[in-house]
Each structure stands twice: as structure tokens, then as C-alpha cells.
Chain A
Amino acid sequence: MPKELDPSTNEKNFILESLYAGERLDGRELDAFRPLELEFGEEYGLADVRLGKTRVIARVSAQVVQPFSDRPFDGIFTITTELGPMASPGFEVGRQTEAEVLLARLIEKSIRRSTALDTESLCIVAGQKCWQVRADVHFLNHDGNMVDAACIAVVAALQHFRRPDVSIEGETVTVHSMTERVPVPLSILHVPICEGDGGDEANVVTLIDATLQEEQLRDGDMTVTMNKHGEVCQISKAGGVPLDPIAMHRDMNLAFVKVKEITAFIAKRLKEDEEKRVKRDNLLESKAENER
């Protein structure tokens, strides 16, 4: 299996020593994110997130399926993540390493298990028809902190997505095409955003948004997912350098500040995109919530 190259001893010493002196290689503050960029595609539900050199695309799609027999009133929401050699030569197709399992679980827990998407609203006919919403996450470039990038991409894509409207008359279900009726946005209950922290060796230095090199050298990591209401959706710290609980709590408060910033950023970009769309397609005042 091709393995990611570890940083050389010189690089390692250089990076660690500058970290102890409070400097990062790219000149960022210890608690600063890399420049975050978010773009939406032509279609609904495509989000392209860039966090420094890390790049992730999330695509949300929906189809009508039969609900699970044990949950007849719920729609289905799945997130698929696949790490391929495109992101980094260290990833192989079709063979999940442990790191990949953890990454996929983390994203799933952050968004799906915290019920960010109201699956009950995806039900069409109880026990027979429901929407299956599927978020495909493609990792295009890996330069550290994939969890954050993926989480931002999925959440932004979910908010951007519109599903076709459905009407029911007796037994027949009609799915209206996008041009026939204004598509419906998904009901998002809250917006979880992940924060990755990396701790570094003996006298702990805490970093936010570690790059790949910093990730390779770190001695432990903690990911906290929160929403802007101040609810913690998920904490995950598995092994790594033992942290003081007070320091952990301080990190969480710091994460909350960042979460509010990122949520505001996504909302701003969504609004800009909406305005662009209205201008382009002449959609003025037509919203799914309007009375017909």
C-alpha cells in the first residue's frame, strides 16, 4: 500500500520548534482558520469548499424510494464519503483504512445522528414512499482538516438543495419537475459545524485547522461539532495526548466562536447565491412557501 510520506526529521524539528515559539509555517495564528471559500454549482445542492489547499465537493441528490419497514414515517438520509487517490496518494480505492472509517463516522455522527435534517419531512406516503436524500462527499485534495471541510460542504449543500415538489391525489403521487413547480428546500433543524483541534507533544500547543504536515506531527486531536445555538452535537477525542479538562472546555468555547463565524459565512454565501439565481432565472418572489 502506498503510504503517505512522513515529514523528515528536519521538517519535524522546524515545525515543532516554531510551534512552541507560537508560530505556524503558513503565518497563521494558532487559533485561526485558513481562508475558507465556498462556491455553489449551477444546479441545486452542489457545494465546493476550499480550506487552504484542502478541497471538498459535496453533492446532494434525492430520489423517491420505499422507507425502511421499521421507520415508515421517516425518509432516508445517507452520507457517503470516499477517499480516493485523487485526494492524496496515501488513499487507495476500495480499501478503507482505519482513519477513513473514523472520518466517515465522524461526519455521519456530526450531521446525521444529530438530526440536522428532519427526516420526517421527507415522508410522502407513510410506509410506501419517501424521499431518500443522499449526500456524496468527494475529497479532491487533502491538506489536513478534512472533517471540517467535509462538514461545511455537506451542511452548505443541504441548505442549498431544493427537492422537486410532490402532490398527492388519492393513491397517485405526482413528482413535479423543477420548471413546473418551485422546488422545496429541505427542512434543516440546525447547522452543525465541526472544529478540528490538534494538540502537539509534551507541553501542549493547541492548533485549530491543522494542515497535513501539522496533522502528521500532532500527538492527538479533538473534534467538536456544535451548532450556532450553542449545542454540542458531538465530541470526539480518541487517545492522543491527555488533556486537562479545563483546557478542553476552553477549546470548546473557542470552537463555539468559530462555529458562529462559519455559520454566518455559509448563510452569507447562500444569500448571495440566491440573489444571483433570482436575477438569472427571473424567479422573483417565487418561493415554495408562497401560496399557490
Chain B
Amino acid sequence: MPREELLSPEGLRLDGRRWNNLRTLKLSLRTHPTSSGSALLTSGHTSILCLIHGPSEPSLRSKQQHDRCTITVDLTYAPFSGTDRKRRNRTDKRISELRSVIQRTFSRAVMTHLHPRSEITITLLVLSQDGGVLAGCINAATLALIDAGVPMWGYVAAVTVGWVPGQGGEGEEEGTPVLDVNNAEEGELGVLTLATMGDKGRVILGMLESRVRLEAVEGLMAVAVDSAGKVKDMMDEEVRRHGEAIARAAGVGS
């Protein structure tokens, strides 16, 4: 697809959004009461379910660490999640990379020293994919960990930002960032996935996989850090709403 079609002259994207619009983000906590914590995240057509088990005794003795808990991540793409029905192998390089990226991120974000010799399992199931899967996984896992009552240093909030290069004409802008890319955009553009931890907008995860000019990266990061803050606020709102609902059901609080 030619690049100009990704962003119309009026500045509208394929799905009618402007460059700085997020897709509708639906968050729900405690969708699966049998697990320690769970969350369902839907962002446009991307939907991801996350279940937390633990802290519990490690499934393997070798996973035991004497001074902290081990985070294990299990990531599965449902065969029906994409446009073609396809069963993805668990040993797929791309999946095992994503898994270890998520694992490293949460090993840092969770206060692991509070649960020595234990294991926390993050199970992620991608129900439908339409761009921004890694960001969705991170956000869903954050919510599910909060639901499970696992202590963390702060919210980990992730967004994706793509870069639409300009046409290179005189006096024209070099390009435009587009926030929260969908599948069609993700395939064409250089996309940065960025996650911040806490309130100060410090970057805990950054992944860029295609060629982008160095000057553009600065703009991409600025947009991403800013929007990650907004996503964090949305997550915080949902967590508080959920907490109040529980308190009300138990007959405490306002």
C-alpha cells in the first residue's frame, strides 16, 4: 500500500482517526475469578487476555531464586487471532522474543524481592491481533498484576507510535507520527513500541524494528512518552473504579 494512502491529505488515517487518536481502549479487571488476577484488554480490534497465577511455589526447582521471585511469561496467539487461521508454534522465534521482552520488563517492574523463592506466572492469550500486540500485552499484564495484588514499583504503560515519512517536497515537514498503529500501518511503517514505568515518564521498554531517521526518533519518543502517560491515567481510572465496585459490594467505602 502506498504511503500516501496511510495518511490522507486531510490528515486522516485508514480508519478515520487523526494522528494523535488512540483507538477505543476497553479495560476490564477480574474477568476470570479462578486465577489470582486477570484482565481483558481491547484496543480497537486487538484483544488480549491476561491471567496471573501466583506468587506460588515454582513449577521447577531450577526456577527458584533465593532472594527474589521468578517471573514466567507464557504467550500464546490464538489460531483464530489473525486474518488467516494459523496455528503458531510456541517455539516461534518472534513469540519467544516477545515473551522474554515481557518477562524482563516485569522482572524489573514487580517488587520481586518481596516474594523470595516463589514464581509468578503471567499467561497472555492474544485473542485477536490488529497491531500493537506487544503494547497490549504489557498493559493487560500490568492490570492483571494489580488485580492479583502483586506489589509493583509503578504502572507500566505501553503504546505504539508509527512514523509516516513526508513526501520530501520543499518546505514540507519531514513526516508525521501516528499513534496506536493498526495492522495495516504496522506492516508499512517504522513502529516504535515504548513502555514507561511510574509517573515520571521513564522508559522501561523501547522496541523499534524498522528503519527510521534519527531525527524522527526524537519526535516518536516524545509522542510515545506523552501518550503512555495518558494510557496510564486510563488504567488507573479503571483500577480505581474496579476497586470501588468491590468495596461497595463488600459494604465498605462510599
> Of A105, A237, A253, which is in contact with the most chain B CB atoms at under 10 Å from its CB?
A237
Take A231-B214, A232-B214, A248-B203 as given contacts and tell me if A238 and B104 are in contact as well, using a CB distance cutoff of 8 Å: yes
Point out the residues of chain A lying under 8 angstroms from B201, CB to CB. 245
Take A235-B192, A252-B217 as given contacts and tell me if A242 and B202 are in contact as well, using a CB distance cutoff of 8 Å: yes
User: Is A248 a contact partner of B221 (Cβ separation < 8 A)?
Assistant: yes
Q: How large is the interface on A (under 10, 10 to 19, 20 to 34, 35 or more residues)?
A: 20 to 34
Point out the residues of chain B lying under 8 angstroms from A94, CB to CB. none
Point out the residues of chain A lying under 8 angstroms from B44, CB to CB. none
Point out the residues of chain B lying under 8 angstroms from A230, CB to CB. 213-215
A244 to B222, CA, bound (A): 11
Minimum CB distance partner of B218 in chain A = A249
Asked if B96 CB lies within 8 Å of chain A CBs, one says yes
Take A101-B97, A105-B93, A220-B108 as given contacts and tell me if A238 and B212 are in contact as well, using a CB distance cutoff of 8 Å: no
Interchain nearest-CB distance for A218 vs B (Å):
12
A263 to B65, CA, bound (A): 43
Binary contact readout A79-121 vs B (1 if CB under 8 angstroms, 0 otherwise): 0000000000000000000100110110001000111000000
Point out the residues of chain A lying under 8 angstroms from B206, CB to CB. 222, 235-237, 248
Point out the residues of chain B lying under 8 angstroms from A104, CB to CB. 93
Asked if A256 CB lies within 8 Å of chain B CBs, one says yes
Contact of A235 among B198, B217, B225 (CB under 8 A): B217
User: Is B214 a contact partner of A102 (Cβ separation < 8 A)?
Assistant: no
Binary contact readout A221-263 vs B (1 if CB under 8 angstroms, 0 otherwise): 0100010001111111111111111001100110010000000
A238 to B197, CA, bound (A): 12
User: Is A238 a contact partner of B213 (Cβ separation < 8 A)?
Assistant: no
Point out the residues of chain A lying under 8 angstroms from B94, CB to CB. 105
A130 to B225, CA, bound (A): 44
A105 to B192, CA, bound (A): 17
> Of A104, A105, A242, A256, which is in contact with the most chain B CB atoms at under 10 Å from its CB?
A242
Point out the residues of chain B lying under 8 angstroms from A109, CB to CB. 209
Take A232-B214, A249-B221 as given contacts and tell me if A239 and B207 are in contact as well, using a CB distance cutoff of 8 Å: no
User: Is B107 a contact partner of A113 (Cβ separation < 8 A)?
Assistant: no
Point out the residues of chain A lying under 8 angstroms from B204, CB to CB. 237, 239-240, 242-243
User: Is A237 a contact partner of B222 (Cβ separation < 8 A)?
Assistant: no
Point out the residues of chain A lying under 8 angstroms from B218, CB to CB. 249
Point out the residues of chain B lying under 8 angstroms from A234, CB to CB. 208-210
Interchain nearest-CB distance for A222 vs B (Å):
7
Minimum CB distance partner of B207 in chain A = A236
A162 to B143, CA, bound (A): 53
18 further A-B pairs in the complex, CB-CB below 8 A; given A113-B209, A232-B217: A109-B209, A114-B211, A231-B212, A231-B213, A232-B208, A232-B212, A234-B210, A235-B207, A236-B207, A237-B207, A238-B104, A240-B108, A242-B204, A243-B203, A244-B203, A252-B214, A252-B217, A256-B214
What is B's interface to A at a CB cutoff of 8 Å? 93-94, 96-97, 100-101, 103-109, 192, 196-198, 200-215, 217-218, 221-222, 225
What is A's interface to B at a CB cutoff of 8 Å? 98, 101-102, 104-105, 109, 113-115, 220, 222, 226, 230-245, 248-249, 252-253, 256
Q: Which 10 A-B pairs have the closest CB atoms?
A: A239-B104, A242-B202, A235-B208, A238-B101, A239-B105, A237-B206, A238-B104, A242-B204, A239-B108, A230-B214
Pairs across A and B, CB under 8 Å, 25 listed: A105-B94, A105-B97, A115-B211, A222-B206, A226-B214, A230-B214, A231-B212, A232-B213, A232-B217, A234-B210, A235-B207, A238-B105, A239-B103, A239-B205, A242-B196, A242-B197, A242-B203, A244-B200, A245-B202, A245-B222, A248-B203, A248-B221, A252-B214, A252-B217, A253-B214
